[in-house]
C-alpha cells in the first residue's frame, strides 16, 4: 500500500507550491523511497496544450507525450523521475471521462453527480498513478488556492481518500503565505488561520503547514500557527524566499520536514539517512562567485518568463556545470523585426543566441534575423523546434538563394516550403493533443558536433510540433553546408541540423530542455553554453547597457559580468 501526501495552497497563488512538492519528493527519494508526484488542475481545459503561453506559461511535455502543467517540470528536475499522462489530471479530463461513460450507458440509469461520480473519477486517477508507478509515496499537488469554487471536488476527493486509504497512510500539507507589514515590521498569521478554517470547512485538518515568507519566521510565529491551526510546532515549516529554487530541499530538510513525514507515515524502519551530498554540492556551485555569460533568448512570449521555464532552467544547469552564471537577455522577436537598429546591439553583445519553440507567424521574421545574425557573426546558436525551423528558412533564403522560402505554417502559398506540415497532420481538424508529441528515437550522424556532445549515437528526445523540414530540400541544404546530424529511426524526419563551418550552430526539432536536470545538464545545452564561453574568450563582445530584465536567481549577488578581460584571454 502506498502512502499519500496531499498538498494544498492557501492565502495566495504563486507561493511556490510546485517547488515545495518537488522538494519533498527529493527528500523522500534521498532516503531510499520511491516517489511519484502528480498535479490536479481545477481548470476545465482538458490540458494546457491549447492554452496561450501568456495564460499558462510553458507546456511541459512528458516522455509519453502528455502536454502538462509546468510544475511537472519542477517535479522531474527535482526528483529525476519521469512523469507521464497519469501525472496531470484536470477538471476537463475528469468530466470528459464521466460524461463519456454516461453516454455509453455506463452508469446504468443513475443520476450523475459531483459526489460520488466526479470524486470517484478523481480518486480513481490518483490510485491509477499509485498502481502504475508502485511508488512508496504518492505526492499529490492540488492546483489553485483553497476557497476556489472549481477546486472543491478535488478537496472532497482527497478528504474521502484519507478514509479509504487509512488514516495512517495519508497526510495533508498546506502551503500559505505570511504577509509582512512594513509599518510594524511583523509577519501576520491571520490569513493562514483563515485559510486553515477554509480547509476545515472541507473536512480537512492539515498535518503540516509550510509558511512562505520573505522574512525569517520566528519561533513565536511558529508557536502561534501551531496553536491556532491545531498542529505540532515542529510541523510548522518556514519557507523563507531562497536565492535559488534549488535551495528549497535543503531548507526544508534543515527544518526537519523529511524526518517528520517519515515518522508520521510510519516509514522510519525502511528509510536510510538522507543522501543529499550531490544536491548540497549543486547549491554550493550555484552560490559561488563566477563569471556571467550572456545569452540572448529571442521569443515572442518574453514578458512572461515562465513561458520558457525549462529553457531558462536548462541554461542555468549547463552554466553551473561549466562554472558560469547564465544571464538571459530576453529579446522580443517582434521588436527585433521592426526596430532592428535598436535591438541589433543586444544580439551583438550576446555570447550565444537561442531561439526557443513557438507557434504562429507573429515575430517570425525577427527570429529569422536572429538566426541569420548568429550564422553570419559566428555566434553560437541553439534553435529549439521553431528555432530549427527558422534557421532552415534563413539558410534557404540567404545561402541557397530561395528568397521565397518559408514554412507553410506562416505562408501556405510560399514558393519554397522548406518547412512543411507532416503528412499525418494534413487531415487533422482537432487542435488538442494532436501534434507529434512525446519521446522519439533520434539517430545521430557519427562525427557530427551533436554526436560528440552527446557521446552517443542513439538518443531519445521529446517533441511537440506539426511541421518539419521538407525532405525535398535535404540534399541542397546538405550540399551547402547545413548538415542533417540527427534523423528519425526510419530516416524520414530530420531531427537535428548543424552548420559545418561555425563554432556551434545547432537546431533541434525536439525540445531538449525537457530532459535537462540540475545535476545532469543536457549535452546540447552544455555544448551551446561551452561554445558561448569559448567565444567570449576569443572575441570580446561589446558591452551595452539596456533595460532588459533578468531572472532573479541567475543575476543575484552582483556577480561580475564576463568580459574578455575577466577570462584573461583577450585578443
Ligand atoms: N510551430 C512549429 C510546429 O508546429 C514549432 C512548434 C514548436 O516550436 N514547439 O512545428
Is the bond leading into 444 cis (omega within 30 degrees of zero)? no
Among 48, 357, 437, say which to mutate for ligand 1: greatest number of ligand atoms within 8 Å of CB.
Answer: 357
Among 361, 382, 467, say which to mutate for ligand 1: greatest number of ligand atoms within 8 Å of CB.
Answer: 467
CA of 560 to the centre of ligand 1 (A): 36
CA of 376 to the centre of ligand 1 (A): 24
Atom of ligand 1 nearest to the CA of 385: 8
pTM of the model: 0.92
Does the beta carbon of 357 sit less than 6 angstroms from any atom of ligand 1? yes
Closest CA to 228 of 180, 181, 176, 264: 176
What is the spatial distance between Cα 231 and Cα 208, in angstroms, rounded to a whole number? 7
- The residue whose CA has the least distance to atom 6 of ligand 1 is 465
Q: Per the residue annotation, which of 385, 442, 443, 495 is the catalytic one?
A: 385
Does the beta carbon of 385 sit less than 6 angstroms from any atom of ligand 1? yes
CA of 436 to the centre of ligand 1 (A): 10
CA of 227 to the centre of ligand 1 (A): 53
List the beta bridge partners of residue 502.
Answer: none
Does the beta carbon of 465 sit less than 6 angstroms from any atom of ligand 1? yes
Does the beta carbon of 513 sit less than 6 angstroms from any atom of ligand 1? no
Does the beta carbon of 504 sit less than 6 angstroms from any atom of ligand 1? no
Tell me the CB-side half-sphere exposure of residue 198, using CA atoms within 13 A: 20
Report in angstroms the alpha-carbon separations of 507 from 135, 334, 468, 504.
37, 21, 12, 10
Q: What is the DSSP string of 81-108?
A: ----GGGEEEHHHHHHHHHHHHHTTTTT
CA of 224 to the centre of ligand 1 (A): 51
User: How confident is the model over 413-440, as pLDDT tens digits?
Assistant: 999 999 998 777 777 777 788 889 999 9
Atom of ligand 1 nearest to the CA of 359: 1
CA of 444 to the centre of ligand 1 (A): 21
The predicted structure's pLDDT at residue 569? 30
Atom of ligand 1 nearest to the CA of 356: 8
- The residue whose CA has the least distance to atom 3 of ligand 1 is 465
Say how many C-beta atoms besides its own lie within 10 A of residue 16's C-beta. 20
Q: Is 513 a catalytic residue?
A: yes
Domains in the chain (CATH in brackets) are 3-283 (3.40.50.300), 289-421+435-538 (3.40.50.880)
CA of 360 to the centre of ligand 1 (A): 8
Q: Is 385 a catalytic residue?
A: yes
Contact 277, 250 (CB under 8 A): no
Q: Per the residue annotation, which of 253, 337, 409, 513 is the catalytic one?
A: 513
The phi, psi pair for 26, rounded to 5°, reads -60, -45
The pLDDT tens digits along the chain (571 residues) read 899 999 999 988 888 999 999 999 999 999 999 999 999 999 999 999 888 888 889 999 999 999 999 999 999 999 999 999 999 999 999 999 999 999 999 998 899 999 999 999 999 999 999 999 999 999 999 999 999 999 999 999 999 999 999 999 999 999 999 999 999 999 999 999 999 999 999 999 999 999 999 999 999 999 999 999 999 999 999 999 999 999 999 999 999 999 999 999 999 999 999 999 999 999 999 999 999 999 999 999 999 999 999 999 999 999 999 999 999 999 999 999 999 999 999 999 999 999 999 999 999 999 999 999 999 999 999 999 999 999 999 999 999 999 999 999 999 999 999 999 877 777 777 778 888 999 999 999 999 999 999 999 999 999 999 999 999 999 999 999 999 999 999 989 999 999 999 999 999 999 999 999 999 999 999 999 999 999 986 555 555 544 444 334 333 333 333 333 333 332 2
Atom of ligand 1 nearest to the CA of 435: 4
Does the beta carbon of 49 sit less than 6 angstroms from any atom of ligand 1? no
Report in angstroms the alpha-carbon separations of 155 from 12, 61, 88, 344.
17, 26, 16, 51
Amino acid at each position: 500500500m502506498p502512502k499519500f501526501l496531499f498538498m494544498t495552497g492557501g492565502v495566495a497563488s504563486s507561493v511556490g507550491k510546485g517547488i515545495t512538492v518537488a522538494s519533498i519528493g527529493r527528500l523522500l527519494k534521498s532516503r531510499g523511497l520511491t516517489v511519484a508526484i502528480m498535479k490536479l488542475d481545477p481548470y476545465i481545459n482538458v490540458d494546457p496544450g491549447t492554452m496561450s503561453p501568456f495564460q499558462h506559461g510553458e507546456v511541459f511535455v512528458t516522455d509519453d507525450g502528455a502536454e502538462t502543467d509546468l510544475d511537472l517540470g519542477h517535479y522531474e528536475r527535482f526528483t529525476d523521475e519521469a512523469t507521464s499522462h497519469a501525472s496531470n489530471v484536470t477538471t476537463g479530463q475528469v468530466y470528459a471521462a464521466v460524461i463519456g461513460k454516461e453516454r455509453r450507458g455506463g452508469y446504468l440509469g443513475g443520476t450523475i453527480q459531483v459526489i460520488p461520480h466526479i470524486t470517484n473519477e478523481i480518486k480513481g486517477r490518483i490510485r491509477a498513478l499509485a498502481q502504475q508507478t508502485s511508488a512508496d509515496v504518492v505526492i499529490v499537488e492540488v492546483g489553485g488556492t483553497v476557497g476556489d469554487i472549481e477546486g472543491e471536488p478535488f478537496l472532497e476527493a482527497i478528504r474521502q481518500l484519507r478514509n479509504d486509504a487509512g488514516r495512517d497512510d495519508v497526510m495533508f500539507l498546506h502551503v500559505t503565505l505570511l504577509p509582512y507589514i512594513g509599518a510594524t515590521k511583523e509577519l501576520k498569521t491571520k490569513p493562514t488561520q483563515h485559510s486553515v478554517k477554509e480547509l476545515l470547512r472541507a473536512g480537512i485538518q492539515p498535518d503540516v503547514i509550510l509558511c512562505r515568507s520573505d522574512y525569517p519566521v520566528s519561533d513565536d510565529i511558529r508557536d502561534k500557527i501551531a496553536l491556532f491551526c491545531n498542529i505540532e510546532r515542529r510541523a510548522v515549516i518556514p519557507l523563507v524566499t531562497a536565492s535559488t529554487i534549488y535551495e528549497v530541499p535543503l531548507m526544508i530538510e534543515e527544518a526537519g520536514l523529511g524526518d517528520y513525514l517519515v515518522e508520521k507515515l510510519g516509514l522510519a524502519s525502511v528509510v536510510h539517512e538522507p543522501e543529499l551530498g550531490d544536491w548540497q554540492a549543486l547549491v554550493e556551485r550555484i552560490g559561488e562567485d563566477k563569471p556571467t555569460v550572456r545569452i540572448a533568448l529571442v521569443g515572442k512570449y518574453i514578458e512572461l518568463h515562465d513561458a520558457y521555464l525549462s529553457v531558462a532552467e536548462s541554461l542555468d544547469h549547463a552554466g553551473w556545470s561549466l562554472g558560469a552564471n547564465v544571464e538571459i537577455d530576453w529579446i522580443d522577436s517582434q521588436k527585433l523585426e521592426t526596430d532592428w537598429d535598436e535591438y541589433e546591439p543586444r544580439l551583438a553583445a550576446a555570447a550565444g543566441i537561442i531561439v526557443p519553440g513557438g507557434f504562429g507567424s507573429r515575430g517570425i521574421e525577427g527570429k529569422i534575423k536572429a538566426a541569420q545574425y548568429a550564422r553570419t557573426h559566428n555566434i553560437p546558436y541553439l534553435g529549439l523546434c521553431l528555432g530549427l525551423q527558422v534557421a532552415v528558412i534563413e539558410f534557404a533564403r540567404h545561402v541557397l538563394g530561395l528568397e521565397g522560402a518559408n514554412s507553410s505554417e506562416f505562408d501556405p502559398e510560399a514558393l519554397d516550403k522548406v518547412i512543411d506540415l507532416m503528412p499525418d497532420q494534413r487531415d487533422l481538424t482537432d487542435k488538442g493533443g494532436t501534434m507529434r508529441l512525446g519521446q522519439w528515437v533520434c539517430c545521430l550522424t557519427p562525427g557530427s558536433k551533436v554526436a560528440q556532445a552527446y557521446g552517443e549515437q542513439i538518443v531519445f528526445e521529446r517533441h511537440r510540433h506539426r511541421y518539419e523540414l521538407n525532405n525535398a530540400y535535404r540534399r541542397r541544404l546538405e550540399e551547402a553546408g547545413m548538415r542533417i546530424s540527427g534523423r528519425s529511426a526510419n530516416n524520414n524526419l530530420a531531427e537535428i541540423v548543424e552548420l559545418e563551418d561555425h563554432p556551434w550552430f545547432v537546431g533541434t526539432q525536439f525540445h531538449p530542455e525537457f530532459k535537462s536536470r540540475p545535476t545532469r545538464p543536457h549535452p546540447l545545452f552544455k555544448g551551446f553554453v561551452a561554445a558561448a564561453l569559448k567565444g567570449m574568450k576569443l572575441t570580446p563582445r561589446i558591452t551595452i547597457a539596456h533595460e532588459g530584465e533578468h531572472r532573479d536567481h541567475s543575476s543575484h549577488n552582483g556577480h561580475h559580468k564576463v568580459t574578455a578581460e575577466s577570462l584573461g584571454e583577450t585578443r
